[in-house]
Amino acid sequence: MTEKEIVDYLHNNEIHKIKFAFTDIDGVLRGKLIHTTKFLEGLKDGIGFCDVVFGWDSADACYDNVELTGWQSGYPDKLAHIDLDTFRVIPWDNNTPFFLADYKKNDLTDLAVCPRTLLKKIASECKSMGFVPSFAQEFEWFNFKETPQSLEEKNFHQLTPLTPGMFGYSILRTSLEDAYYNDLFDLLCAFNIPIEGLHTETGPGVYEAAYFHDEILKAADNAALLKTSVKEIANKHGIIATFMAKISEKLPGCSGHIHQSLWNTDKTKNLFYDANAEHNMSELFNQYLAGQLYCLPHIVPMLAPTVNSYKRLVEGAWAPTTITWGFDNRTTALRVLNHSHKACRLEQRVSGADTNPYLAMAASLASGLYGIKHKLSLNVQATTGNGYSNKSNGSIAGNLMDATQIMKKSDIAKELFGAEFVEHFTATREWEWRQFSKHVSDWELKRYMEII
């Protein structure tokens, strides 16, 4: 819809409020409900929003180690610019109009640490090279018969799963909660998140959803909105949905795999596919894959951004631990699917469900483009069999601090994303590690309290 059509829609339907939001550095959706008058006034010049949303963590604790904002700056407003192309209505909230926004430092300068702004910059670079990036992200998550209050009362332990047992691809289990299951599919589609498939995964109360691929910015918008939308729809049914990467050492983790391909400008040709080439992989695809393999050690925190992320990245848990690739191999970091022109793509399997989709997709695309720009050769052999045992090309960092230090010192990361973003983002990951390191866990209490 054009700006005039949106304005006419609001007036003709006597709509007096709209909701807009954006993701912070952790991928948490932050936003406001505002009067239509304020929305219309802000279309040209933007809407002031306290920049603390990029100066605190997911628990609203203010960073003490970033330059962007803080007590030293007084936490001023920065300008949020609503993207009218993201207009949709929320079907489970009285069809309230909804928009996504980007952040600017001022009228002329983009805010380098805004995740959506970063992705737009890299997507624009991709298009300037003559490619249209087509992406999608699939998500797994656990569902519990709980509320925010009961989580607190139970101290996040002994939660009741939506359904019991390990039952992937179950038709039976979904029938126990068919109102919720059908609402997820129908309401997400009505919210312009076109669901391709929805099913149970192995694990008590685990669902998985995939949506149709699209140009990368729309794909990231859909991914970011899917996570919060699922939680809101779940709340309507007295259910808590969690996108933590790993909730228990005894259960599988929750992935957020990213599927990606490059197309020509009129979107008629998949540039990764070449029927006359070995394995149907074009030279462009080989370079893109080589770029991701080469850059992977430098971008891990953007794919695994929390302390918990690395509990998922362990051997034998359907998540990769080595810097490997293979053909339809689910034990490698990068999985090539090359059977047809339409579906030829690269699946990046490091990302968990806890990622910020804008950052994970930006990291994937930027590293692939690095391979194309530098004409990298694919000199890493495809892994056949167990990718966990193939350490010939290195392993993924084992924890958030190690991964962050590699990225912080990396000239490649600064080339891909800019020094300002890398400095701020890695500082936020160091903060996250500090918060974890001073915490006394249940494991420590059980192991040391009596015996040591």
Q: Looking at residue 110, what is its pLDDT?
A: 87
Span between the terminal Cα atoms of the chain, in Å: 66
Q: Looking at residue 42, what is its pLDDT?
A: 95
**CA 312, CA 388: separation in Å to the nearest integer?**
14
Nearest to 30 by CA among 432, 356, 430: 356
- Residues 31-62 have pLDDT tens digits of 999 999 999 999 988 999 999 999 999 999 99
What is the arithmetic mean of pLDDT over 94-107? 90
Provide the edge-to-edge strand list for the sheet that holds 139-144. 195-200, 206-211, 139-144, 240-242
Structural domains in the chain, sorted by start: 3-111 (3.10.20.70), 139-254 (3.30.590.10), 266-452 (3.30.590.10)
Q: 104 pLDDT exceeds 90?
A: no
Give the other-Cβ count within 10 Å of 133's Cβ: 24
265 secondary structure, DSSP code: T
| Kind of pairing between the strands at 325-327 and 334-337 | parallel
Half-sphere exposure of 417 (CA within 13 A, CB side): 33
Q: Looking at residue 105, what is its pLDDT?
A: 79
Share of the chain above pLDDT 70, in %: 100
| Kind of pairing between the strands at 17-23 and 96-104 | parallel
Give the other-Cβ count within 10 Å of 156's Cβ: 12
Q: 419 pLDDT exceeds 90?
A: yes
What is the arithmetic mean of pLDDT over 269-281? 97
Distances (CA, A) of 191 to 16, 184, 188, 248, 329: 20, 10, 5, 32, 33
Q: Looking at residue 182, what is its pLDDT?
A: 98
Q: Is the pTM of this model over 0.75?
A: yes
Q: Looking at residue 155, what is its pLDDT?
A: 95
Q: Looking at residue 84, what is its pLDDT?
A: 97
Q: Looking at residue 109, what is its pLDDT?
A: 82
- Residues 186-244 have pLDDT tens digits of 999 999 999 999 999 999 999 999 999 999 999 999 999 999 999 999 999 999 999 99
What is the arithmetic mean of pLDDT over 84-110? 92
Contact 57, 198 (CB under 8 A): no
Split at pLDDT 50, 70, 90, the class of 260 is very high
> Phi and psi (nearest 5°) for 306?
-120, 165
19 secondary structure, DSSP code: E
Identity of the residue numbered 279: H
**CA 182, CA 163: separation in Å to the nearest integer?**
16
Split at pLDDT 50, 70, 90, the class of 256 is very high
Share of the chain above pLDDT 90, in %: 97
Split at pLDDT 50, 70, 90, the class of 397 is very high
Q: Looking at residue 160, what is its pLDDT?
A: 98
Q: Looking at residue 199, what is its pLDDT?
A: 98
Q: 106 pLDDT exceeds 90?
A: no
Per-chain mean pLDDT for the chain:
97
- Residues 344-394 have pLDDT tens digits of 999 999 999 999 999 999 999 999 999 999 999 999 999 999 999 999 999
Q: Looking at residue 44, what is its pLDDT?
A: 87
**CA 291, CA 287: separation in Å to the nearest integer?**
6
Give the other-Cβ count within 10 Å of 237's Cβ: 16
Contact 163, 150 (CB under 8 A): no
**CA 270, CA 265: separation in Å to the nearest integer?**
10
Nearest to 366 by CA among 123, 112, 114: 123
Q: 107 pLDDT exceeds 80?
A: no
Count the helix, strand and coil residues of the chain and give each as a percent rounded to the nearest 5: 40, 20, 40
Q: C-alpha 254: how far from its chain's center? A: 12
